Amino acid sequence: MFDPWLPHSILEENGVEPASLEDVLTKSDFLFVVAAVTSENKGFLGTEAFASMRRGAAFILLSRADVVDFDALMAAVSSGQIVAASDVYPQEPLPPDHPVRSLKGFIRSSHRAGALDSAFKKMGDMVLEDMDLMDRGLPPMRCKRAERETVSRMRSKPVAVN
């Protein structure tokens, strides 16, 4: 697994083998992308990254479309270099005439993973656990905290934009 924000020891403690981005791209048969968009990674997966992947590898985009160069992703799928699946797009809702809709080798889905009943329950449980900690004068442990060092890097569009 590649994560530039987590120390290797945290990955290892959770049973994950740390790897470089290059190793993940070149050695994976399935690549899941669950990254938030930051000022450093907007569009960071592009033509070169897709060309370095194993031919026929599966690229699954589950977080934010802005972490990839979406045109380069479609080109890599169109050429047969990789297959892909995504539940996020550069514009949502996806326009009816968007070329990805007819792209063979590209599975499309609506962005709904976070809207599952089980996800809502888990999020609620995490919030309640953190609230209990804060009621006792302790810092939250389950939910992400808005840390000064990371907030300035995050890039989200207001809901009204998409």
Report the catalytic residues. Answer: 64, 92, 111
Q: Is 56 left (phi over 0), alpha (psi -120 to 50) or beta?
A: left
Residues 142, 147, 149, 151: is their CA dihedral positive or negative?
positive
Q: How far apart (Å, rounded) are the C-alpha atoms in residues 136 and 134?
A: 5
SS3 47: helix
* Tokens standing for residue 44: 């960071």
